[in-house]
Chain A
Amino acid sequence: MLIRIPPPHPIRSSEITPERVHDDRRRLVAQLGLSAVALVTGCGRSDDAQAERPQASTEIAATDSASTVAPAAGSEGRAALNVAKRSELAGGETLTPFMDVSTYNNYYEFGTSKDQPARNAHTLKTRPWMVTVDGECESPGQLGIEDLVNASTLEERVYRFRCVEAWSMVVPWVGIALSDVLARFKPTSKAKYVAFETFYDRQQMPLGRWAGFELPYVEGLRIDEAMHPLTLLTVGMYGRVLPNQNGAPLRLVVPWKYGYKSIKSIVRVRFVEKEPPTTWNILQPEEYGFYSNVNPAVSHPRWSQSGERRLGELFKRKTLLYNGYTEVASLYTGMDPVKFH
């Protein structure tokens, strides 16, 4: 079910708070005071009924938070992108502030705590950047980042993003449907899966040695998942190019799967016949399956997946099957969600 809500888009440039104002922390303190009140009165908890039908909501709630801190505040200074089309695909939910999205990251090549990537990822050189596309296809080749960033078909899509650690956010990503890009390389009938690989360089990523798993990071999708219109090859967020810690210059966003499937800083794409190995699955196969579809009913040994905490909220809300993107259900007809977790 794709519900497209036309703009009013929440981030107009007029709404972007200057960094000076943003740094005026009294505003945040005031906000915090409110959350303390919410804490006492219980007002901050998510309404379960609402969580079950977020797509029914059409209001653009971001205007509320824009009155205190604009969602995109802090993204200034990064190159702006020309967005041809905008789709709101998160049920009109409030955008998570850019500052949160860009300072709370899992990118183990730059440190294993959430705040480390934002501090360390500046060592990553994102230009020039070439992606090798090969394997089971008729026209293997290279993909330059500039071609993608300057594409006239760049789209903004507001998606919910759900981490397996039971936190989530709402992000306006900018990119191109992965299917459009993959089609250029003419995958053959043998291309049953697509394997992706993250850039790895010990000099640029010295903390990668402590990641706890072998690098480069690898991920994969079944070809029909990769070709699904929701799968976004992403170059930006909040109208500008991606910050390094969010996977610059090029990452996947697969909104119905746990975040680790949305591989960052991609340098290689390969069409393959067999299910490719994926990093977290290699490390802990019982915990992280190849499919990793968001599913509140499939228990996980570390985190209950029945609920999630939206960044900026205190209480948990209910997790939606496929993170609310139930239009992908037909991809998994007849598959046991526990066996193929």
Chain B
Amino acid sequence: MAVPRALLGLRLAAWSLALYPAAELAWRLTHAALGPNPVEFLERYTGLWSLRLLLVALAMTPLRRFTGRVEFVQIRRLLGLWAFAWICVHFAVFLTFDLEWSPAKLVEEVAERTYITLGFTGWLLLLPLAITSTRGWQRRLGRRWKSLHRLVWPAVWLGGLHFLWLVKSDHREPLAYLAITALVLLLRAPWPLRGRKADPGKRLPA
């Protein structure tokens, strides 16, 4: 069966968005454009894109709601998994260049530095969601799958707070991300929509 045009377009857009950071990083790497502190740049850049992609993934539910187009929800897993993949890159850069894969250093950092505690916890919360993102797990977990995947919300808040806590002064940027998080959450709240059934995608997991 051919994939409907609308879904195809959305999938293409999602893949482009998810792979854009890889393309930009590849360009920067080959054009010596990573700046005077490449590791710091990589950490900041991958962290920001993780947060952006996670927020885009979370915006799919409200978009389906306002447009009535179920296709938005059909690209949600793709976006969520890519967000997680970028978080893993972000974490791997930190583990490699800051901690040199020392478990002792990781324990120290997670225990002593609040922003790392927050970020690490967020990653931990997302880990089971990535693992259980397959149809098989969805079937096996049944109704519990939906409850489990609500963990994405504490995770995205932790991501935003991880950013906020890291910034020494001038908190405008992390606050903007936290505001967007609040907005996305607000838009999916169960308030009735005029002239439309409140929840057209009831069968689909949130």
Asked if A167 is at the interface (CB within 8 A of a chain B CB), the reply is yes
Q: Check A311 against B37 for contact (C-beta < 8 Å).
A: yes
How long is the Cα–Cα vector from A67 to B194 in the complex, in angstroms? 70
Shortest C-beta distance, B9 to chain A (Å), equals 35
Type the 1/0 row for B21-60, where 1 means its CB is closer than 8 Å to any CB of A.
0000000011110111111100000000000000000000
Query: Across the interface, do B98 and A301 meet the contact criterion of CB distance under 8 Å?
Result: no
As a 0/1 sequence over residues 204 to 226 of chain A, the CB contacts with chain B under 8 angstroms (1 = contact) are 00000011110000000000000
Distance of A293 from chain B, by nearest CB (Å): 19
Contact flag A167-B100 (CB < 8 Å), given A212-B169, A283-B169: no
Any A CB within 8 A of the CB of B146: no
15 contacts between A and B (CB under 8 A): A29-B30, A29-B32, A32-B34, A103-B36, A108-B170, A211-B170, A212-B169, A212-B170, A302-B115, A303-B113, A304-B105, A311-B36, A314-B38, A316-B97, A316-B100
Main secondary structure of the interface of A (DSSP, over half): loop
> Are B32 and A25 touching (Cβ within 8 A)?
yes
Q: Does B199 contact A (CB under 8 A)?
A: no
Cα of A103 to Cα of B166 in the assembled complex, Å: 21
Using Cβ atoms and an 8 Å threshold, which residues of chain A touch B112? 299, 301, 304
A112 touches B37 (CB 8 A): no
| Contact of A213 with B31 in the complex, beta carbons under 8 Å | no
Decide: B39 and A108 in contact? CB cutoff 8 A: no
The closest CB in chain B to the CB of A42 belongs to B100
Contact, CB under 8 Å: A108 / B36: no
How many residues of chain B get a CB closer than 8 Å to chain A's CBs? 28
> Does B197 interact with chain A (Cβ within 8 Å)?
no
Tell me what chain B mostly uses at the interface: helix, strand, loop, or mixed: helix
| Contact of A302 (CB < 8 Å), options: B30, B113, B172 | B113
Of chain A, the residue at the smallest CB distance from B165 is A302
A277 at interface by CB-CB < 8 Å: no
Given known pairs A212-B169, A212-B170, A302-B113, the reply for A314 and B97 (CB within 8 Å) is: yes
Q: Which of A31, A104, A112, A167 contacts B169 (CB 8 A)?
A: A112
Query: Which A residues are in CB contact (< 8 Å) with B100?
Result: 45, 315-316
Shortest C-beta distance, B120 to chain A (Å), equals 15
Across the interface, B109 reaches (CB within 8 A) one of A28, A284, A304, namely: A304
Q: Does B138 contact A (CB under 8 A)?
A: no
B residues within 8 A CB of A315?
97, 100
Mask of A24-54 contacts with B, CB within 8 angstroms, 1/0: 0100110110011000000001000000000
A272 vs B169: C-alpha distance in the bound complex, in angstroms? Answer: 28
Contact assessment for B36 and A304 in the assembled complex, using a CB-CB cutoff below 8 Å: no
A: interface residue count bin: 35 or more
A295 to B109, CA, bound (A): 17
Contact (Cβ within 8 A) B171 A212: yes
Write the chain B residue with the least CB distance to A102: B36
The answer to whether A309 touches B37 (Cβ under 8 A) is: yes
Contact B172 A210 (CB under 8 A): yes
CA distance A39 to B35 in the complex (A): 17
List A contacts of B108 (CB < 8 A).
304
Known: A29-B31, A103-B36, A112-B170. 16 other contacts (CB 8 A): A28-B32, A29-B32, A32-B29, A100-B36, A103-B35, A104-B36, A104-B37, A115-B35, A212-B169, A212-B170, A301-B112, A302-B115, A303-B113, A304-B108, A315-B100, A316-B100
CB neighbours (8 Å) of A100 from chain B are: 36
Q: Does A141 belong to the interface (CB within 8 Å)? A: no
* Contact status of A312 and B36, CB under 8 A, knowing A32-B29, A302-B113: yes
Chain A 165-179 near chain B by CB (<8 Å), digits 1 or 0: 101000000000000
Return the chain B residue nearest A112 by Cβ. B170
